[in-house]
Structure 1
Amino acid sequence: MSKTVQVLLVDDHPTVRAGIRSILNENYIEVVAEADSLADARQALVTSRPNVVLLDLGLGRESGMGAVPEFATASSVLVHTVHSDLASEALSRGALGFVAKTAPVGVLVAAVRAVAAGRRYLDPALAADLAIGPARRPMSSRERQVLELLAAGLTNQQVAGVLSISVRTVESVRASLRNRLGLVDRADLVAYARTAGRTGH
């Protein structure tokens, strides 16, 4: 498999960068440049032309948040940080994705691939609390019911039967959830539902 996704890795901890680089390389994602400061990141962005800027927000005495709009004009920005409470701000400034550093390896890999393809991605552990888009609202009881049944492996028809609603209604709820949570297809939605269930969202 060729490495079609190219990443600029911006983090001020060499050990962290080494670990992330190894993870991404093992998953056929190429780290084409690394930076430990915003100045170096700006230069690398021009010279390496990555698909994705994987950006930590805490860069020593600098904050990567202010650079999100700038970087987003040249590449897809995926914020990767310990500051999970900053997801909404990062997304509003132009980041296409947000993943906490506590997220499993599979979530980070999926996020990089999603934003490289121009799709939004929000860490499933945070997505239940944040709606991506102009209207933030809590998940409705109907949406939670559909999610729970999808996570249990039920088909659209089975979900409709259990909830005594039409298949079209189930499909509409699924589409709404995908748009709100930045998910792509049924597999993503089911994976999110199972993760959200484990984290208590």
Structure 2
Amino acid sequence: MSESHAAPDQQIFIVDDDEALRDSLVWMLESSGYRVAAFDSAEAFLAAWSDLMAGCLVLDVRMPGMSGLELFEELGRRRCTLPVIFITGHGDVPMAVAALKKGAADFIEKPFADRDMLRLVAQCLEQERASRGKRRQEADTARRLEHLTQREREVLDLIIAGKLNKQIADVLGISIKTVEVHRARVMEKMGAHSLAELVQHVVTVEPAAPTR
């Protein structure tokens, strides 16, 4: 079996009422080095769900009681960020395609090869890591923006709008030297090492930053 592609805090959550398939998946994934938690119903997973969960969810489309699709929709309402891989039977493909359009990561038809499931899991874990990293960066940028003074914020908005120091000085009625001081403080407070990095961070958080 291949090595795990998971970060230490990531886990694979399996929700399937088919005990044989569930046990087979647990064995296969654990043999590949993954941490796995299995549930025999959507209701059981929902009872255990926490927004601190990291990793991905392998979910059967059809189950007694709450279906996989209903669980997926409920998790969406709860703003769950776990990528979801649906397990489908032949007749369930249209439902799985509909789920993809609603944000599911992928689906796999039964019977499937271990290598195909492992490939999808690795892709989802990479996607989830990147998504969490992006959210952390956005939260950090938002926090840093809150620590700017009003004048620093005005200078930042004009930098984002592409204004040169002289233009910023003219708009704000201050000297170019003062603009340079504010600009340096903005770069320091925002933790940016270049103008491109500064712009990239801010427009990610505030795509419609005000311009002058």
TM-score with structure 2 setting the length: 0.50
SS in 2 for 1:16: helix
Tell whether 2:64 aligns with 1:40. Answer: no
Percent identity over the alignment is 23
Find the residue that maps to 1:80 and give its secondary structure. strand
The AA in structure 2 aligned to 1:56 is D
1:28 Cα deviation after fit: 1.7
Question: For residue 113 of structure 2, what is the amino acid of its counterpart?
Answer: P
1:97 paired residue among 106, 123, 142: 106
Partner of 1:8: 13
Aligned to 1:68: 72
Determine if contact 1:68/1:93 at 8 Å carries over to the other structure: no
Shift of 1:99: 1.1
- Name the aligned partner's letter for residue 23 of structure 2: A
Rounded to whole Å, the distance in 1 between the matches of 2:32 and 2:39 is 21
Structure number with greater Rg is 2
Paired letter, 2:101? S
**Which amino acid is the alignment partner of residue 11 of structure 2?**
Q
Aligned-pair CA distance for 1:6: 1.0
Structure in which a larger fraction of residues adopt strand? 1
On the 8 A contact 2:12/2:34 being kept in 1, the answer is: yes
Matched length: 118
Alignment partner, residue 87 of structure 2: 80
Aligned to 2:116: 107
Q: Deviations over 1:21-71 (max 9, x none)?
A: 01111222221x221222211122228714111100111243211221333
Structure 1 unaligned blocks of 5 or more: 120-201
Relative to the length of structure 1, the TM-score reads 0.52
Could you tell me which runs of 5 or more consecutive residues in structure 2 were left unpaired when the two chains were aligned.
129-212
- Alignment of 1:54 with 2:63, yes or no, is no
Give the CA RMSD over aligned residues.
2.2
Distance 1:48 1:26, change over 3 A: farther
- From the superposition, tell whether residues 16 and 48 of structure 1 become closer, same or farther in structure 2 (CA, over 3 Å): farther
CA separation of 1:9/1:48 partners in 2, compared to 1, >3 Å: closer, same or farther?
A: farther
Contact 1:99 1:108 in 2 (8 A): yes
Deviation string 1:53-95 (CA, Å, 9 cap, x unpaired) is 1100111243211221333532111111212332311101221
Aligned amino acid, residue 45 of structure 1:
W
